[in-house]
A and B are shown apart, each in its own frame.
Chain A
Amino acid sequence: DGGITQSPKYLFRKEGQNVTLSCEQNLNHDAMYWYRQDPGQGLRLIYYSQIVNDFLKGDIAEGYSVSREKKESFPLTVTSAQKNPTAFYLCATGTSGSSGANVLTFGAGSRLTVL
């Protein structure tokens, strides 16, 4: 089955630790995205990548880092510089950028809690 796998589903972190969230896709989509979802707010874009070895900052990139070494994988690292990292993190894929009907497919999400 084609899809997106995010892991872990739940993650607890102590303050000052970096954590990496995994996102793997077998949909052969060029574009991959990381969003953050907080209660009462819309999805906010952290980083996105439209091609291997290239990625762009979204609206709230500070305190996060990503890599795109292969088409299938787009891991997100939440660094200790992120002041309020507790949130639900969603990875998504889509067909490349400049198309109106760029329907996103989302992974099941990773819920990060900082203790």
Chain B
Amino acid sequence: GQNIDQPTEMTATEGAIVQINCTYQTSGFNGLFWYQQHAGEAPTFLSYNVLDGLEEKGRFSSFLSRSKGYSYLLLKELQMKDSASYLCASMDSNYQLIWGAGTKLIIKP
């Protein structure tokens, strides 16, 4: 079956670094997406990885290892506005997205 696993909740301190992990098992693979979703709002796109390695985009970076079925989202210099849920989604061989349940990130001052 197809499955995406990510932690339910994480807590971090303002100004620190946090890594949110995601493991996936999908029928085929056409890329891994990360989205940010503030409570009650629409998810917004953060990153897309299809090749192994690290993609850096400002304070946010995303890593992919296809052989391990593993990705992480790295958030640096955390700000209070980063408090949100972070959704991991894998695109399968039919170009359909399989979504994880999301990781709720709580930032404390």
Does A115 lie at the interface of the complex (its beta carbon under 8 Å from any beta carbon of B)?
no
Q: List 19 A-B contacts (CB under 8 A).
A: A42-B89, A42-B102, A43-B43, A43-B97, A43-B99, A45-B96, A90-B43, A97-B95, A98-B95, A100-B30, A100-B91, A103-B45, A104-B43, A104-B97, A106-B43, A106-B44, A108-B41, A109-B42, A111-B40
Hey, which bits of chain A sit against chain B, CB under 8 A? 4, 40-45, 88, 90, 97-109, 111
A50 to B89, CA, bound (A): 20
A38 to B13, CA, bound (A): 28
Could you give, for residues 84-101 of chain B, a 1 whenever the CB lies within 8 Å of some chain A CB and a 0 otherwise?
000101010001111111
Q: A100 near B31 (CB under 8 angstroms)?
A: yes
Interface SS of chain B: loop
Does B48 lie at the interface of the complex (its beta carbon under 8 Å from any beta carbon of A)?
yes
A105 to B97, CA, bound (A): 13
A99 to B89, CA, bound (A): 15
A104 to B41, CA, bound (A): 15
> Chain B residues with Cβ under 8 A from A111's Cβ?
40
Top-10 shortest CB links A-B: A42-B99, A106-B42, A43-B99, A100-B31, A100-B30, A103-B45, A42-B101, A108-B42, A106-B43, A42-B100
A43 to B102, CA, bound (A): 9
A45 to B2, CA, bound (A): 14
